[in-house]
Structure 1
């Protein structure tokens, strides 16, 4: 069931939920997202094991069977990755709406109309969620723009987070071959940035 179906077919639409109901839904979505992430990670490990086994195997029939199994796991991983992308965007949506609800409750004392979400906004969000070409980062930016969450802090990566991504990229490209060396370098860079900030 897509977010729009869930929004419109439930007894209480997402836009009318209280802050605590939104938090409960957010936790459920996070749990589902974490489950999908674990499955994708497990599939990646199994694919690695199959590939290593195939590289050691010399029998053509066994290699064909392993190649078929590798392909099957890749297909499953791609399908789960799509679901993971959707759950991540749904989780972002519910989280942002919860933050808007909190802001609206604080603003209610001053008579502000902050945080009101219309049906048109929900339709636009549904289209973004279902579009596989829209990554969670792009979705987060569009969601923030659409919901005008200018006062909320952005959840983009800090300089330290970008350093960790840089190390992973170097591992992926083979510039750093040892996993322990990569971890030590990432840890050192993050610590250096924290020391510089103090």
Structure 2
């Protein structure tokens, strides 16, 4: 069960999940990540053995069979690597949220970064996790921006109005391939600005 399925099943919002719930999910994701890493290493070893075996084999039919086995293992390795990338990003998400929650508990304050996260932010996190082109490093940067970790504004966005900042984020999402065309970008920018205004008024 991935993070977002778990989140929906539990009928929890990011603002109401406890440290214990986040930690439990974090451990499950860590175990799954370790299992996938082990599988990738096993497939790599098996592929190497096939290469070594094929180098010694002189029968064309046998080499063809070994080559097909190699191809199947390579395909599986790529699929497992994709799942590993997803699980790693999910694990990072849960870890970040847990740290924020623990920090809030120690200070006796509500965690603003968790409590004010919007549906559009959650949808964006899910898209970033599912996007194979977004590796863990890029994802960590975007996640920290979404969760408002590190409150100092970037030099390029310092002094920019909230509406303009949302548009800059939309353009970043277009660069990452999360938004496909300018029409969708406009709709998303308008949606985010309305949500920001609604949150400010409410």
Tell me if TM exceeds 0.5.
yes
The equivalent residue for 1:170 is: none
State how many pairs are aligned.
150
The equivalent residue for 1:39 is: 39
RMSD of the TM alignment (CA)? 1.9
Between the aligned partners of 1:39 and 1:46, the Cα distance in structure 2 is 10
Moved over 6 A (4+): none
Are 2:19 and 2:98, in contact at CA under 8 Å, matched by a contact in 1?
Answer: yes
Deviations 1:158-194 (A, max 9, x none): xxxxxxxxxxxxxxxxxxxxxxxxxxxxxxxxxxxxx
- Deviation of 1:14 after TM superposition, in Å, equals 4.7
For residues 141-156 of structure 1, the aligned pairs below 5 Å read 141-150=141-150
Are 1:103 and 1:115, in contact at CA under 8 Å, matched by a contact in 2?
Answer: no
SS at match of 1:16: coil
The equivalent residue for 1:181 is: none
Change (3 A) 1:2 1:19: closer
Q: TM-score, normalised by structure 1?
A: 0.70
The equivalent residue for 2:81 is: 81
Gaps of 5+ in 1: 152-198
- After the TM superposition, which of the residue ranges 88-97 and 9-18 deviates more from structure 2? 9-18
Q: TM-score, normalised by structure 2?
A: 0.68
Between the aligned partners of 1:15 and 1:90, the Cα distance in structure 2 is 17
The equivalent residue for 2:125 is: 125
For residues 82-97 of structure 1, the aligned pairs below 5 Å read 82-97=82-97
